[in-house]
Amino acid sequence: MKKILKFLKYVVLFAVTAILISILYVFISNKIFIGGKDSAFTDYLSKNNVQLTDKIDGKLFDSDFYNSQVILLGEVHGYADNQKLDQYFLKFLNQKAGIRYYIAEIDSANSHKLNLFLHGSTKDQNLLKEVVIAIQKRIPQQSSKELLEKWNDIYDYNQTLKDSLKISVIGVDTDFNDNSHKISRDSAMIVNFKNSVKKLNIGNEKFYGLFGFYHVLQHAIKKDGKPFAERLKNSGFKTSSIVSYTLDSEMYLPKNPQFPTPEDQKIDWINADGPFMLVKGINDFKELTQPNSMTLFKLNSKDSPYQNSDKLISIKSRMFGESFTPQEKTNTLDYFQYMVLLKNSKALTPIQ
């Protein structure tokens, strides 16, 4: 009996040691991947950032940005402040650049309903809620109270505009009810976008939209697939991309069979500094942002260190989502030109 107890003692000791070593390995490898602060980057970033509110002044945006025909904001789904950010950018670009066409990661049937809502004589909450609930089929983490509030606010904003500036939505995603996947989503997006531009005869207009992070990348991560933004550029649409990352924030993670989800469907361990999502170079930003803030960084100013770096586009995922490794002979600016860091964002709220 003593021998058995002694054996079990060694087994438990071995198991605990193995777990501790594994945790230590993950901690150390995370620190190595993200990297420490680099003065060449922090000095540059300190001169190329501005805190965002609902009144964007636009001082970081240059002529190259304003000359873009398509401007895209890319998010990691589930964070409430991304909906505010999208709302702020849409209003700003409508006022500053006359952008009135919002391209969306929804299908044409739901964008039609959303346009009926936006241009209706009264706020049809049943119609809007129908659209928000339908989004659960494609992007469960985006269907939320905050999404509903955003479009209610855009409705109110539309009422203040003359008809020539009123905002309309173009849905470029595949049919939410079609699971055949005949072509990739990004392939379908560019086809649907081009068809809409031709049908509406709006080839001279400018466009803005919010998409999942991958879709706004202007260069492929894998050789066998191209994101929507790269397809736009290859089709002759001058494109600017802004990506959003988070620190110290909560994500809405709806209940699903693939991953363990807390009872309140909120998690705080999917941020750019780990432990389960790691963005190379994120430590350069930590001391340049305030709590409860949205900070815009211009990455492509003259002499930017990002033109010779893979920071921000080298991403490691330890649980779910994709890891990204940039292709050889590319740099951060080949993929996007601006970054917004959200600090202390709340999780999106499930719609009732």
CATH code of the domain covering residue 165: 3.40.50
Query: What pLDDT score was predicted for residue 261?
Result: 80
Q: Are residues 213 and 331 in the same domain?
A: yes
Q: Are residues 115 and 3 in the same domain?
A: no
Beta strand 294-298 pairing with 338-343: antiparallel
With respect to residue 11, please indicate whether it lies within any of the assigned structural domains: yes
CA 96 to chain centre: 23
Where in the sequence is the domain holding 4, given as residue range(s)?
1-34
Q: Are residues 45 and 77 in the same domain?
A: yes
Beta strand 101-104 pairing with 207-212: parallel
The runs of H, that is alpha helices, within the chain are 2-34, 39-46, 63-66, 80-97, 108-118, 125-134, 145-159, 185-200, 228-234
**Band of pLDDT at residue 25, cut at 50, 70 and 90:** very low
Question: Which of 28-37, 82-91, 236-245, 334-343 is the least confident region?
Answer: 28-37
Query: What pLDDT score was predicted for residue 296?
Result: 98
As a whole number of angstroms, the distance between CA 285 and CA 295 comes to 10
Question: Which of 7-21, 38-52, 178-192, 196-210 is the least confident region?
Answer: 7-21
Q: Are residues 168 and 313 in the same domain?
A: yes
- The answer on pLDDT for 241 being more than 70 is yes
Q: Are residues 49 and 181 in the same domain?
A: yes
Query: What pLDDT score was predicted for residue 6?
Result: 57
**Band of pLDDT at residue 15, cut at 50, 70 and 90:** low
- The answer on pLDDT for 8 being more than 50 is yes
Q: Which two tokens stand for residue 313?
A: 């586009």
With respect to residue 135, please indicate whether it lies within any of the assigned structural domains: yes
pLDDT digits (tens, 9 = 90+) for 116-169: 999 999 999 999 999 999 999 889 999 999 999 999 999 999 999 999 999 999
With respect to residue 195, please indicate whether it lies within any of the assigned structural domains: yes
Q: Are residues 99 and 20 in the same domain?
A: no
Number of H helices, E strands in the chain: 9, 12
- Percent of the chain at pLDDT above 70? 88
Q: Which helix (H) or strand (E) holds 55?
A: none
As a whole number of angstroms, the distance between CA 174 and CA 193 comes to 11
Q: Which two tokens stand for residue 152?
A: 């209610």
Q: Are residues 296 and 180 in the same domain?
A: yes
Report helix angle 80-97 to 145-159, nearest 10: 20
Contact, 348 vs 148, CB < 8 A? no
Q: Which two tokens stand for residue 263?
A: 């009872």
Q: Are residues 254 and 241 in the same domain?
A: yes
- Percent of the chain at pLDDT above 90? 75
How many residues are recorded in the chain? 352
The mean pLDDT of 199-227, rounded to a whole number, is: 93
Query: What pLDDT score was predicted for residue 257?
Result: 72
With respect to residue 297, please indicate whether it lies within any of the assigned structural domains: yes
Comparing 115 with 269, which gets the higher pLDDT? 115
Look up residue 158 and give its amino acid.
N
Q: Are residues 89 and 228 in the same domain?
A: yes
The HSE-up count of residue 279 (CA atoms within 13 Å, CB side) is: 22
The mean pLDDT of 205-214, rounded to a whole number, is: 97
As a whole number of angstroms, the distance between CA 50 and CA 336 comes to 18
CB burial of residue 230 (10 Å; 0-12, 13-18, 19+): buried
Query: What pLDDT score was predicted for residue 325?
Result: 86
- Mean pLDDT taken over the chain: 90
With respect to residue 349, please indicate whether it lies within any of the assigned structural domains: no
Domain count, the chain: 2
With respect to residue 81, please indicate whether it lies within any of the assigned structural domains: yes
**Band of pLDDT at residue 206, cut at 50, 70 and 90:** very high
The mean pLDDT of 278-295, rounded to a whole number, is: 96
Q: Are residues 73 and 58 in the same domain?
A: yes
Q: Are residues 30 and 59 in the same domain?
A: no
As a whole number of angstroms, the distance between CA 128 and CA 131 comes to 5
With respect to residue 352, please indicate whether it lies within any of the assigned structural domains: no
DSSP state of 75: E
Query: What pLDDT score was predicted for residue 11?
Result: 56
With respect to residue 336, please indicate whether it lies within any of the assigned structural domains: yes
Q: Are residues 197 and 250 in the same domain?
A: yes
Torsion of CA 112, 114, 115, 120, to 10 degrees: 120
